Structure 1
């Protein structure tokens, strides 16, 4: 008996005794001295050491963090609300100003009646320009006023600076702004115009059929990051659109703005605590505040780093610095305590089990002080004294179990295309293609005939290939002129045996998953060849023994395996879930393992010119050699 068989035998025996121990433990629990039990000592000792520190840490952490978050969020939100209200008030006043231009400004009204380009027209425009420049000073947020002549495509712009940039922004926004007046409804909202170097808010009103007046606000003028003193070096404020893209300049990084944009739906809460993943470091947490704008489709957002907020808690910081020292003391104390009560008896038990696994069945362990481990060691000693009498029966039962498992696995392979084949025969009969019906029925009869023999333990390779040929001929009738195949097997290999229905799951998978390029013929190639592997050597490494092997390759010109599936197949993950989508592959692999062990196996790959490739290798044995083995 080798070491693997000994380990398996001991495992079966220990499992049986473990069940017996659990049953006896339940019956004798009432009479066990609970004070001497390991469970009682471990719970009491660890609780006395860790509970006070845990309570202090939890209370201090939760209370301090909540207080700081509430206070900082309240202060920052007050600043943000005041800033937003001030901005919204200026925008509303600007709206009223623009709406009144068409009724109160005589120069703008006169332009409608003056000839374009005349002297009076130019003088009126100059007076409008002077008025706009004067009015800009009364609206501290407004960057520019403009008047647009839609008929003559003439734009008058009064701005406090960066004339070319502001002119470009206004010209870019005019087509979109003019579309909102098609239904003669003036909307109070301000539009957003995005430029190459900066973004702006723009508001346009229609004076009459010819003239449009408007105002421009630089987005950076709406953002006041300096008022949030708690933002520190890594925090800040930003204005973002409803699409999550930043509209104003900000000290926040692109990743921080992206993180804030992902949490815009939570702005209805007083504040949010969000985390930023840092490569190779601890995640950074931020306090996020925000308000949506009532005058435009944008949001005011503030990020406050919690690390900077905690600098105002000196007591909390001292506790944090002492935690490593306290944790080290607690860990050492707990290790010493647990070592005496648990680790030392468990190590003694493990050493005894290792000696038993090597075949030393005379091992006897000294009972420890704990009542649970004392019961376990007594049961272990009893197990070692009886294991010699049980190992022969367990080993024979194992052989019977493996034989039954092999037969059950072999019976799982059933063809999945019987119904399709009968439908094809029905269709061919309806078309009165009697010759094709005869061929189909003949192939199907041979296929059924082989299935009746599939209960055998092994079958010859030439019989397996003949079965595959019938299967592929049936598939050719399903896909006329679109499927072809070739069977190339070296001479003299047909008498070797392998488990029945070993090749069929892979041929089925080729047709089901690889037959997707219907514009060109689908080709399946099955090859068989013999080879040899080195199976062992002498003590002096001068002689080796070669084991003859049978290699069967199944390849096609289909789409091949996708990379994710190929990685799983190459790692053998198809064997983890026998009820999953790779039941055919798992069945073949498990039958080969039960019958041949590690000698047989499967290999999966994609060909260089496309298509999937599966290689099956099994020992090259005849039916007589297999029966003798």
Structure 2
């Protein structure tokens, strides 16, 4: 919660909040006015066009009603229809005379009904169609219509109805028909759907608007390409209109027919409907847009002039908090006040960094002094034992061993005197350890044996001096006695993990091992009592490893399988510059 509170209390939030509370209410009022004006104009346009659709649909229904009256009168009063309901072969003469009289009746009346294309009579018993011929552009079209009428009458889904007109679709063409059945004789009228909407073509619905008829399943009878391209869904709303299209940019209004199962729809582009918006409404829209643009420009301006310089200072302070003391605020064109703040900040960080460097160097010098003291602490440790060995050899007058012993001691002390460096090669450390073990072997003849195993690949790696020799010396001090022989093994390996390489050193002996309480203290990384100098060598090695490698080096203590003492040391295999720092 605290970062959220800090963010809410920031200058940026307060600045933007004040600006939003000033401009947003004005924008909302203008948008409400704009929306209300748009709705008013839409409703006016919709009402006007609904009235127009009702007018045209009423005219179409009246025309169809007149046709209905003629068909009903014909089917109920004309006796010639009875002859068409008899077998033609039984009395062909009467059948043909009745057919001619009916054709003449239909042909005389079709001209009075401008809303239809043709009248037809179909004898279901004789499979004979009679229809007027004064329509279409030629014989081929009339033959095609005749086939459609026969197919329609033979369709089991077609049910004659005295009062309703129905739609028929075939080959991309749509028709409206009315059929009355008398016995097994069908009397009907047939209209091309395009003919019904010819008067609507003179209505101005815009360049992309359209008027069309649709079936009772709301399938368009024309302008299918426009509907598919714009994604318009025909939806009948008895009260008003619906918005449709991929972008909701078309007003859809419909009117059902009282005489048939079809609808009359008007598709008006919203752009056309809103062309008559009041001038004041357009001004309010422009003001709303201008206010939004002004808000965006103001935000951009404040961000560049005010917020961005503050953010640079905050970012620099965060980097300082992460310990990156070399971060500075760059030179950018900015206000005078922010320029002074940036220069002051950079100068302050430089002074702090110099002070930190001085403190670090002083701490490093103190650390180096402590490291030298620890190494010098080891050098006198071997003096007394060495003199005692030479004295004993001189007593027995074994001059050959005295010479070898003296040579080994010279080599030993030469290494000790030059070991003021913080790191030596593993090869030099192992040679020194081997030389030390030879001295001890001369000291304990027949008691002490040793083995040193290190692959050639690790010989050039650097380690702290006297680490291995100190642990070997500790083993001899605590494990060697004159009663039982002892074996000391030194094994060095190079190990790898996912991140880096490590040098692992193991020193094991076959002595009595660590006392249980001492091993528990060593494994728990606790200080071991060092009365009379006991275990000071272990503490010395641990302290030097910490100074040189911090937490990257590790040391452990254990009992071997033969219950002897074991020590393992792991240090990074990377090279160093001799001061305890990575090179």
TM-score normalised by structure 1 residue count:
0.46
Greater Cα radius of gyration, structure 1 or 2: 2
